[in-house]
Amino acid sequence: MWEEIWEKYQKPIIIGSILMAAILLVVSLLRPKNNVQSPQESSEVMMAGSEVQSSSVTSNPSTDSVQKSAKKQKLMVDVKGAVKKPGVYEVKPGMRVVDGIELAGGLTESADRKNINMALQLSDQQVVYIPIKGEIKDFDPKQLMGTAGNAGNESLASSSSAGELVNINTADKNALLTLNGIGDKKADQIISYREEQGGFKTIDDLKQVQGIGDKIFAGLKDSITV
């Protein structure tokens, strides 16, 4: 049976097979070769990728140097007096006294605003002292016209008149903080002592406060009174 079928359809089958093979050959020859890369093209792509990677790696040191440079530009200022949070703060180049006050929590109600130069530019290791009302009696507008820092690196945000003394029996904490060697803790101790003892009879009694010895007393005795 199969032999009869083969003999009957032998020629059509052979001719069909030849035509099918020819069609497949033509299709394979006409197929686009855009997605196939030659060895040379592949190597060029790899080299280009390597160059990009190398470029990104070599750019990192410059980025690091910029970051280090930015860190070196950070400045430290000491904000004290009639502010809510006296202390040492980190500021950036170009910042003003108003920025330092904001970092310190803002002004207290007792701050003497008229004697503050808010536009004064800050500098490294600068002291910004904010006076309380009535502390500066002889106000001179010229005192507020100056550069970022003066001799001693003290800010011209305020300028107390020469010879003015701090009364250790009546001064509040902000006024006590203006004295040499007196920080937050010692200012609180001074206030506690005078409340418990009924005040200081002489300036020498200040040495009775814990933490205030001869050295600290010598540095502030010319600035206080009772």
3-state secondary structure of 174: helix
Q: Would 34 be classed as within a structural domain?
A: no
**79 and 151, same domain (yes or no):** yes
Q: Would 218 be classed as within a structural domain?
A: yes
Question: Do the beta carbons of residue 137 and residue 163 sit within 8 Å?
Answer: no
Whether the CA torsion 224, 216, 192, 154 is positive or negative: it is: positive
Q: What is the pLDDT of residue 41?
A: 52
From 139, 163, 187, the end of a domain falls on 163
**171 and 114, same domain (yes or no):** no
Instruction: Give CA–CA dist 210/207, Å, rounded.
Output: 8
**80 and 150, same domain (yes or no):** yes
Q: What is the pLDDT of residue 150?
A: 40
**151 and 171, same domain (yes or no):** no
**133 and 110, same domain (yes or no):** yes
Count of residues making up the chain: 226
From 131, 148, 163, the end of a domain falls on 163
**154 and 139, same domain (yes or no):** yes
Q: Would 16 be classed as within a structural domain?
A: no
**152 and 183, same domain (yes or no):** no
Q: What is the pTM of this model?
A: 0.38
Per-position pLDDT tens, the chain of length 226: 666 766 777 777 788 788 888 888 888 888 765 555 555 555 554 554 555 455 454 555 555 654 555 556 678 998 988 899 999 999 998 899 999 999 999 998 888 888 888 888 888 888 888 888 877 665 554 444 333 334 344 444 543 444 478 899 888 888 899 888 898 899 999 999 988 888 899 999 999 998 899 998 988 888 899 8
Paired tokens of 140? 């001179």
List phi, psi (to 5°) of 157: -60, -30
Q: Would 94 be classed as within a structural domain?
A: yes
Nearest alpha carbon to residue 92 among 106, 79, 77, 105: 77
**208 and 156, same domain (yes or no):** no
**105 and 81, same domain (yes or no):** yes
Q: Would 68 be classed as within a structural domain?
A: no
**171 and 218, same domain (yes or no):** yes
Q: How many domains, in total, are found in the chain?
A: 2
Q: Would 39 be classed as within a structural domain?
A: no
Domain that holds residue 187: 165-226
Nearest alpha carbon to residue 222 among 174, 178, 173, 166: 166
**157 and 77, same domain (yes or no):** yes
Q: Are strands 75-81 and 224-225 parallel, antiparallel or unpaired?
A: unpaired
Domain of 217: which CATH number?
A: 1.10.150.310
Q: What is the pLDDT of residue 10?
A: 72
From 118, 136, 163, the end of a domain falls on 163
